[in-house]
Chain A
Amino acid sequence: MTALETSVPAITAVRSTSRKPRRWGASLGWGLAIGTVLAFLYVPIAVLVLFSFNTSRSLSWPMEGLTLDWYRTLAGNEQLIEAVGNSFYVATCSTILTLLIGVPAALALDRLSFPGKSAFRKLVLLPIALPGIITGISMLILFRMVGFTLSLETVIIGHATALLAVVVTQVYARLQRLPRSYEEASADLGANGLQTFFLVTLPNIRSSVIGAGLLSFTLSFDEIPVTFFLTGRDNTLPMYIWSTMRRGLTPEINAVGALIVAFSAVLIVLSVILMRDKPGAR
């Protein structure tokens, strides 16, 4: 009896001393792993941003000095500014277009039952698996056939096609978690279809619509393959960067890159704020 009593504290004592260093080791290991992942993700971006402030044109370390000159040249580069404008135009329009088609499509998929529904669902999702180059070529052939002149608008249609799958998947997933009784209750209380959609359904799938919209915008903004085939004489930003890159890497490109990084950060913060589901939402 006494032997047992003394042995118990002894064991706990051993355990508590051995636990501390192991915890330290574990957290050190985790810290390293997380650090590596983050470095892998963000060191290239940090280098890009850093070199956009470099006085020298050459990409060699250490940097010679800091300057805002490249941003100033940027501001004077009309071609580039036009490309940025085009990119915003394309991304905004294609996002709106995909949302206008994608949200009703997701609603139909979730709320209606019609013959060939599961085939429709798979067909809508297919373009996400297709390489952009295929979408680009096939739409180019179609537009040529129909006799469309290539322009930013054809790019918008191309982007919208490719992005539809993103919107439909996200909104559909949210709709499936939304109890059907909300819409029934709304109808029961006298609301017509449109009132139900705007007052009950949309507020409850809001986060998924915003999320899908922001993702579509970003994907459209930096899209090259589809744009490459479908654009006319106008250039979007990624196309412009890509074409100037053929003449070599310039600090000016770094400056554009840094601005895009900043803009993306704003978008991400915005999406986090807007997509926060209200407490109590199901």
Chain B
Amino acid sequence: MTDIVTLNNISKHFGPVIGVDNVSLSVRSGEFVTLLGPSGCGKSTLLRMIGGFEEPTQGSVVINGDDVTHLPPNKRPVNIVFQDYALFPHMSVGKNVGYGLRVGGVRRTEVADRARAALELVGLGDRFDAKPHQLSGGQRQRVALARAIVRRPKVLLLDEPLSALDANLREAMQVELKRLQRKVGLTFIMVTHDQTEALALSDRVVVMCDGRVVQDGTPDTLYDRPSSTYVAGFIGTTNLFQGQVHGDTLHALGQKLVVPEGLAPEGRTLTFGFRPEKAEILTAAVAGNGTLPATVTDILYHGNSARIVVEVSGSPLSIDRTISDARHASGLPDIGDQVQIAIQPDRIMVLADEAAA
């Protein structure tokens, strides 16, 4: 697969403020890439530079083999779905979708046909003559999508596309976005601050912080092997603690844990972590090699799972247990119980770049 978008050492300064700081990124054709980060991390600015709404202070933007760094948005083979959708209120849905074709000089009859086809693709073929204000939020979102793909761009940019929808609708739209991407085979670059959205939709997630890329990888890499406490903390919940590795033993939390040999450099104090679902709660009686004695302090019941908060040597750890049993909350310990914690050795993560001072 070829690279459709390449960003070479892109920076964007707003006066003294650095919005994007020396970012390089390649997106392959057909990929669904998400830029993930908290607000103000530069992800939207990066997207806007791909779209042509901001000019980079340094670096270059290459789309489909052409350097478009200094080209305006209307000269780029990309289209964007704005956070507020930016549907033109004075035009009907059909006119909105056909707008890009109309200004591009496509014949009137063809404009209408292609607009209708695009609307049908998003399941709104029957709202051609409606005005945007007569549509629901989810429908407006779909019109914005149809309008952006009708010109068959090389890349579709999505700026927080689902943030204006309520929770239920958002989930349904996630499914639809993914389906649409598969169907049209377009390259999607999405910006979001919602980590579940990023994990659910993307082939690749680029985590950003303070204008820089902190990790770039597939959703499962980010989840299972976050490179830093920042990424680990941003994506999912992580139990973090400090420790030292000696051979196959991790000295941490005042206890000894079993880890694969060579997990981390010998004897250095580093930050380690594990995901709440990668540990098991055993009864106090079955203490074994590498298990940690713990006290249950809180239980949060979620229906299909429960989060059990325990204390090990004064540090709180969260542990998730799925409840597959038909009986309500069966098998959960009680608050105050003495238990043993067994962490899967190969699920212990080293957050390598966070060497403790």
List residues of chain A with CB under 8 Å of any chain B CB: 179, 181-182, 184-192, 195, 199-200, 203-204, 278-282
Contact of B88 with A200 in the complex, beta carbons under 8 Å? yes
Contact of A182 with B73 in the complex, beta carbons under 8 Å? no
**A185-B147, A188-B74 given. 10 additional CB < 8 A pairs?**
A179-B86, A186-B103, A187-B52, A187-B74, A189-B79, A190-B74, A199-B103, A278-B89, A278-B90, A280-B134
Interface centre among A190, A200, A278 (most CB of B within 10 A): A190
Residues of B in contact (CB 8 Å), total 27
Interface centre among A181, A185, A199, A200 (most CB of B within 10 A): A185
Residues 147-163 of B, flagged 1 when their CB comes within 8 A of A and 0 if not, give 11001000000000000
For residue A186, which residues in chain B have a CB less than 8 angstroms away from its CB? Answer: 88, 99, 103
Contact of B90 with A192 in the complex, beta carbons under 8 Å? no
A249 vs B90: C-alpha distance when bound (angstroms): 51
Task: Indicate whether B225 reaches chain A with its CB closer than 8 angstroms.
Answer: no
4 nearest CB pairs, A to B = A280-B133, A189-B100, A181-B86, A185-B86
Given the contacts A184-B53, A188-B51, A280 and B99 also touching, CB distance less than 8 Å: no
**Contact with B104, one of A190, A279, A280, A281 (Cβ below 8 angstroms):** A190
Interface centre among B51, B90, B151 (most CB of A within 10 A): B90
For residue B336, which residues in chain A have a CB less than 8 angstroms away from its CB? Answer: none
Given the contacts A184-B53, A184-B73, A281 and B89 also touching, CB distance less than 8 Å: yes
**Residues of B70-91 contacting chain A, CB below 8 A:** 72-74, 78-80, 82-84, 86, 88-90
For residue B133, which residues in chain A have a CB less than 8 angstroms away from its CB? Answer: 279-280
For residue A189, which residues in chain B have a CB less than 8 angstroms away from its CB? Answer: 74, 79, 99-100, 103, 147-148, 151
A190 vs B132: C-alpha distance when bound (angstroms): 21
Q: Report the minimal beta-carbon distance from A276 to chain B, rounded to whole angstroms.
A: 13
Given the contacts A181-B82, A184-B82, A280-B133, A191 and B90 also touching, CB distance less than 8 Å: no
Task: Indicate whether B131 reaches chain A with its CB closer than 8 angstroms.
Answer: yes
**Contact with A204, one of B90, B134, B147, B151 (Cβ below 8 angstroms):** B90
Contact of A190 with B89 in the complex, beta carbons under 8 Å? no
Q: Report the minimal beta-carbon distance from A114 to chain B, rounded to whole angstroms.
A: 16
Q: Give the nearest-CB partner of A192 in chain B.
A: B74
For residue A190, which residues in chain B have a CB less than 8 angstroms away from its CB? Answer: 74, 100, 103-104, 151
**Contact with B88, one of A182, A187, A188, A279 (Cβ below 8 angstroms):** A182
For residue A195, which residues in chain B have a CB less than 8 angstroms away from its CB? Answer: 103
Contact of A280 with B132 in the complex, beta carbons under 8 Å? yes
Q: Report the minimal beta-carbon distance from A178 to chain B, rounded to whole angstroms.
A: 10
Contact of A203 with B90 in the complex, beta carbons under 8 Å? yes
Contact of A187 with B72 in the complex, beta carbons under 8 Å? yes
Residues 24-67 of B, flagged 1 when their CB comes within 8 A of A and 0 if not, give 00000000000000000000000000011100000000000000
For residue B147, which residues in chain A have a CB less than 8 angstroms away from its CB? Answer: 185, 189
Q: Report the minimal beta-carbon distance from B290 to chain A, rounded to whole angstroms.
A: 55
For residue B83, which residues in chain A have a CB less than 8 angstroms away from its CB? Answer: 181
A280 vs B133: C-alpha distance when bound (angstroms): 5
User: Would you mind naming 23 contact pairs between A and B with Cβ atoms under 8 Å apart?
Assistant: A179-B84, A179-B86, A181-B83, A181-B86, A182-B86, A184-B53, A184-B82, A184-B86, A185-B82, A188-B52, A188-B53, A188-B73, A188-B74, A189-B74, A189-B148, A190-B74, A192-B103, A195-B103, A199-B99, A200-B88, A204-B90, A279-B133, A280-B134
Contact of A181 with B84 in the complex, beta carbons under 8 Å? yes
A191 vs B78: C-alpha distance when bound (angstroms): 13
For residue B100, which residues in chain A have a CB less than 8 angstroms away from its CB? Answer: 189-191
A188 vs B144: C-alpha distance when bound (angstroms): 12
Given the contacts A184-B53, A189-B79, A190-B100, A279 and B131 also touching, CB distance less than 8 Å: yes
Q: Give the nearest-CB partner of B78 in chain A.
A: A188
Contact of B90 with A187 in the complex, beta carbons under 8 Å? no
A187 vs B79: C-alpha distance when bound (angstroms): 10
Q: Report the minimal beta-carbon distance from A273 to chain B, rounded to whole angstroms.
A: 16
For residue B86, which residues in chain A have a CB less than 8 angstroms away from its CB? Answer: 179, 181-182, 184-185
Residues 291-323 of B, flagged 1 when their CB comes within 8 A of A and 0 if not, give 000000000000000000000000000000000
For residue A204, which residues in chain B have a CB less than 8 angstroms away from its CB? Answer: 88-90
A223 vs B137: C-alpha distance when bound (angstroms): 50
For residue B90, which residues in chain A have a CB less than 8 angstroms away from its CB? Answer: 203-204, 278, 281
Q: Give the nearest-CB partner of A189 in chain B.
A: B100
A203 vs B91: C-alpha distance when bound (angstroms): 9
A203 vs B86: C-alpha distance when bound (angstroms): 15
For residue A200, which residues in chain B have a CB less than 8 angstroms away from its CB? Answer: 88
A199 vs B131: C-alpha distance when bound (angstroms): 16
For residue B131, which residues in chain A have a CB less than 8 angstroms away from its CB? Answer: 278-280
A185 vs B159: C-alpha distance when bound (angstroms): 12
Q: Report the minimal beta-carbon distance from B128 to chain A, rounded to whole angstroms.
A: 17
For residue A191, which residues in chain B have a CB less than 8 angstroms away from its CB? Answer: 74, 99-100, 103
Q: Give the nearest-CB partner of B80 in chain A.
A: A188
Q: Report the minimal beta-carbon distance from B20 to chain A, rounded to whole angstroms.
A: 18
Residues 105-118 of B, flagged 1 when their CB comes within 8 A of A and 0 if not, give 00000000000000
**Residues of B132-188 contacting chain A, CB below 8 A:** 132-134, 147-148, 151
For residue A279, which residues in chain B have a CB less than 8 angstroms away from its CB? Answer: 131, 133
For residue A179, which residues in chain B have a CB less than 8 angstroms away from its CB? Answer: 84, 86
For residue B73, which residues in chain A have a CB less than 8 angstroms away from its CB? Answer: 184, 187-188
A191 vs B103: C-alpha distance when bound (angstroms): 5
A203 vs B131: C-alpha distance when bound (angstroms): 15
Q: Give the nearest-CB partner of A187 in chain B.
A: B73
A185 vs B85: C-alpha distance when bound (angstroms): 9
Q: Report the minimal beta-carbon distance from A113 to chain B, rounded to whole angstroms.
A: 12
Q: Give the nearest-CB partner of B83 in chain A.
A: A181
